[in-house]
């Protein structure tokens, strides 16, 4: 039996796609191994969101080829889409396929192994449907791909193509497959997830409504949604839904209107703050995560201060900080006022301090309250972790019997690790088990 290893960089979409590719290899008779040293085929699913992501891809190729020169190395993903010839020319690479041909990867490897010449062509701009499996608790389900927004700093629209999606009926069928595999929570994933419906004429809200009827799934989360797409209807729906969690990840990118305009974002800070307060009005305990790019070209000390002041007012639960990375081919790469690494690192460190404070404040609010937690399966040094409905991470002593279960807990304190500790009140029947009981009756 041939062996394959997977090495995935970047976002949840890439992880979902790698998982789907891995299932294809297993169906085709391969066994999946962890280490590249044991593999006959090594698949690298690359990322190009920053210059560092590019470097990591090249490093991975070099390392795998050095450690296992006989392995077939197949590279795919966003780095390959934008730098195909460079990726194909890396020593050791046998197959290089961009995102638009990711679905061919297994057939390409098999053709190489068997010496076959011809392969079916995959239409450029097609949709490679994917979901992650393997984790007993949570699956990332790809519902959308690509982006039409053209933010000034972003190379992803070139790497991922135009915004497109599969129909609601197909997403529901994929969710049913996930439920059948035993996973309890689904994270809806895309490049611009809230833009779902662009190619099918459907509405994102109708997708959420349809998914509520899938038997066997206890929880849904939306991985990220642009502020201009976070409508009152979606907020109201989530506030009343038992299954969609009060957890929002909304890319802000800058708290300074001048920089937002340079970035070609589609909202002002006023509009962003209004959306966040609409969420909090409907769901006071909601987790609000944001993305922030620091040291964008032209960002002055004053602009950075404006961002910090805006964040103090906004008080998000979590800030995901990205130091600006210059991507060739984007408008921002040609902007004046490119910032130095030292300035970028200092501003990122200041924002990290703010993030630590906001995150701790958010967690501390819930000490002494009761919550529902979905327990994950991994044993991490005698501890198991999981998330509450509003995305508080909780750590408890490991108990195999609780893996994949919903439990009620009392939140006790915020540990040094940043997670909460808690006391188990009772294990609940998962909604899916309830549904099974009802069907049997
Ligand atoms: S919304 Fe902007 S930042 Fe996000 S993928 Fe599209 S172009 Fe890139």
Alpha carbon distance 378, 373 (integer Å): 15
| Cα–Cα distance, 113 to 42 (Å, whole number) | 13
Which residue has the CA at smallest separation from atom 1 of ligand 1?
Answer: 149
- C-beta 357 within 6 A of ligand 1: no
Give the CATH number for residue 236: 3.30.750.210
| CA–centroid distance, residue 152 to ligand 1 (Å) | 9
- Above 50 in pLDDT, residue 214? yes
Q: Is 102 in the same domain as 142? A: no
Please work out whether the CB of residue 192 comes within 6 Å of at least one atom of ligand 1: yes
| 63: in domain | yes
Residue 426 pLDDT more than 90? no
Give domain status of residue 123, yes or no. Answer: no
Q: Is residue 119, in this structure, part of any structural domain at all?
A: no
Query: Of 312, 307, 321, 325, whose CA–CA distance to 349 is shortest?
Result: 321
Residue pointed to by tokens 């010496």: 115
On whether both 233 and 332 belong to a single domain, the answer is no
- Tell me whether residue 319 is in a domain: yes
pLDDT tens digits, 137-183: 899 999 999 999 999 999 999 999 999 999 999 999 999 999 999 99
Is there a single domain that holds both residue 331 and residue 241? no
Measure 226 CA to ligand 1 centroid, in angstroms: 9
In a domain, 360, yes or no: yes
Say yes or no: CB of residue 11 within 6 Å of ligand 1.
no
CATH number for position 28: 3.40.50.12160
Q: What is the CA radius of gyration of the chain?
A: 22
* In-domain check, residue 120: no
Q: Provide the mean pLDDT of the chain.
A: 92
**Closest residue CA from atom 2 of ligand 1:** 151
Atom of ligand 1 nearest to the CA of 265: 2
Which CATH number belongs to the domain containing residue 405 in this structure?
2.40.50.140
* Residue 161 sits in the same domain as residue 176: yes
CB atoms closer than 10 angstroms to residue 420:
24
Residues 95, 11: one domain? yes
Question: What is the per-residue DSSP string for 338-376?
Answer: PPPHHHHHHHHHHHHHHHHHHHHHHHHTTTT-EEEEEEP
Task: Write out the residue range of the structural domain in which residue 408 sits.
Answer: 370-433
pLDDT score of 4: 97
**Which of 12, 148, 192, 250 has the most ligand 1 atoms within 8 A of CB, as the residue to mutate?**
192
Q: How far is the CA of 267 from the centre of ligand 1 (A)?
A: 13
Mark whether 429 and 357 lie in a shared domain: no
| CA 176 to ligand 1 centroid distance, Å | 29
Range ranked top by mean pLDDT from 104-113, 279-288, 426-435? 279-288
| Count: domains in the chain | 4
Q: Are residues 140 and 217 in the same domain?
A: yes
Nearest CA to ligand 1 atom 4: 192
Report d(CA 80, CA 108) in Å as an integer.
15
**Rounded to 10 degrees, what is the CA torsion of 431, 435, 437, 441?**
150
- Is residue 389 within 8 A of residue 371, CB to CB? The reply is yes
| Secondary structure of 155-187 as H, E, C letters | CHHHHHCCCEECCHHHHHHHHHHHHHCCCCEEE
Confidence of residue 120 (pLDDT cuts 50, 70, 90): low
Atom of ligand 1 nearest to the CA of 150: 7
Q: Structure pTM?
A: 0.91
Span from the CA of 207 to the centroid of ligand 1 (angstroms): 21
Q: Classify residue 415 by burial, with Cβ atoms within 10 Å: 0-12, 13-18, 19+.
A: middle
User: Terminal CA-to-CA distance of the chain, rounded, Å?
Assistant: 45
Kindly give the distance from the C-alpha atom of residue 423 to the centroid of ligand 1, in angstroms, as a whole number. 41
The CB of 194 under 6 Å from ligand 1? The reply is no
In terms of Cα–Cα distance, which of 128, 138, 219 is closest to 170? 128
Query: Which residue from 183, 190, 212, 220 is spatially nearest to 391, judged by alpha carbons?
Result: 220
Give the tokens for residue 347: 């501003």
- Tens digit of pLDDT for each residue in 5-57? 999 999 999 999 999 999 999 999 999 999 999 999 999 999 999 999 999 99
Taking only the tens place, the pLDDT of each residue in 314-352 is: 999 999 999 999 999 999 999 999 999 999 999 999 999
Exposed/middle/buried for residue 383 (C-beta within 10 Å: 0-12, 13-18, 19+): middle
Mark whether 259 and 338 lie in a shared domain. Answer: yes
For the chain, give the number of residues.
Answer: 441
Ligand 1 pocket member 293 (CB < 6 A): no
Residue 190 contacts residue 196 (beta carbons within 8 Å): yes
Looking at the domain assignment, is residue 374 inside a domain?
Answer: yes
Residue 360 CB–ligand 1 contact under 6 Å: no
Distance 175 CA to ligand 1 centre (A): 26
252 touches ligand 1 (CB under 6 Å)? no
End-of-domain residue from the set 81, 114, 147:
114
Tell whether ligand 1 has an atom less than 6 A from the beta carbon of residue 147: yes
Q: How far apart are CA 209 and CA 198, in angstroms?
A: 17
Ligand 1 centre distance from Cα of residue 327 (Å): 13
Q: What atom in ligand 1 is closest to the CA of residue 147? A: 6
Listed residues 61, 87, 114: the one ending a domain: 114
* pLDDT at position 117: 62
Same domain for 9 and 109, yes or no, is yes
> Looking at ligand 1, which atom is closest to the CA of residue 264?
2
Q: Which of 317, 345, 365 is the last residue of a domain?
A: 365
Residue 159 lies in a domain: yes
In angstroms, the CA 140 to CA 131 distance is 5
Same domain, yes or no: 48 and 64: yes
Beta carbon of 156 within 6 Å of any ligand 1 atom: yes
Q: What is the best residue among 157, 161, 249, 327 to mutate for testing ligand 1's pocket, by most ligand atoms within 8 Å of CB?
A: 157
Q: Which atom of ligand 1 is nearest to the CA of 253?
A: 3
Residues of the chain with pLDDT > 70: what percent? 94
Tell me, yes or no, whether 292 and 380 share the same domain: no
Asked if 335 and 299 sit in the same domain, the reply is: yes
């Amino acid at each position: 039996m041939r062996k394959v290893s997977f090495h995935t960089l970047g976002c949840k979409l890439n992880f979902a796609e790698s998982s789907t590719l891995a299932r294809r290899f297993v169906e085709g008779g391969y066994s999946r191994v962890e280490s590249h040293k044991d593999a006959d085929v090594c698949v690298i699913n690359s990322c190009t969101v920053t210059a560092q992501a590019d470097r990591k891809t090249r490093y991975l190729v070099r390392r795998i080829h050095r450690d296992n020169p006989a392995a077939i190395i197949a590279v795919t993903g966003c780095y390959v889409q934008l730098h195909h010839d460079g990726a194909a020319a890396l020593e050791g690479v046998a197959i290089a396929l961009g995102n638009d041909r990711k679905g061919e990867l297994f057939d390409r490897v098999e053709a190489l192994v068997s010496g076959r010449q011809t392969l079916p062509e995959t239409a450029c701009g097609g949709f490679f449907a994917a979901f992650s499996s393997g984790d007993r608790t949570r699956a990332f389900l790809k519902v959308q791909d690509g982006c039409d927004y053209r933010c000034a700093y972003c190379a992803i629209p070139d790497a991922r193509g135009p915004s497109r999606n599969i129909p609601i009926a197909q997403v529901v069928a994929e969710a049913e497959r996930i439920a059948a595999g035993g996973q309890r929570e689904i994270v809806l994933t895309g490049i611009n997830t809230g833009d779902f419906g662009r190619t099918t004429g459907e509405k994102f809200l109708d997708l959420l409504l349809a998914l509520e009827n899938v038997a066997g799934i206890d929880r849904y989360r939306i991985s990220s949604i642009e502020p201009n797409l976070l409508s009152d209807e979606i907020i109201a729906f989530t506030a009343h839904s038992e299954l969609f969690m009060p957890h929002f990840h909304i890319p802000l990118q800058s708290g300074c209107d001048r920089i937002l305009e340079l970035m070609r974002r589609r909202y002002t800070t006023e509009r962003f703050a209004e959306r966040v307060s609409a969420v909090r009005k409907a769901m006071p305990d909601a987790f609000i995560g944001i993305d922030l790019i620091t040291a964008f070209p032209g960002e002055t000390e004053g602009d950075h201060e404006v961002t910090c002041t805006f964040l103090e007012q906004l008080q998000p639960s979590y800030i995901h900080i990205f130091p600006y990375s210059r991507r060739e081919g984007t408008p921002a790469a040609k902007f004046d006022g490119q910032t130095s690494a030292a300035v970028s690192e200092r501003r990122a460190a200041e924002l990290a301090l703010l993030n630590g404070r906001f995150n701790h404040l958010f967690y501390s609010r819930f000490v002494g309250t009761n919550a529902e937690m979905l327990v994950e399966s991994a044993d991490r040094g005698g501890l198991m972790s999981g998330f509450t409905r509003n995305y508080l991470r909780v750590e408890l002593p490991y108990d195999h019997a609780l893996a994949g279960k919903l439990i009620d807990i009392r939140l006790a304190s915020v540990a040094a690790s940043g997670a909460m500790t808690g006391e188990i009140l009772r294990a609940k029947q998962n909604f899916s088990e309830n549904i099974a009981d009802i069907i049997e009756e």
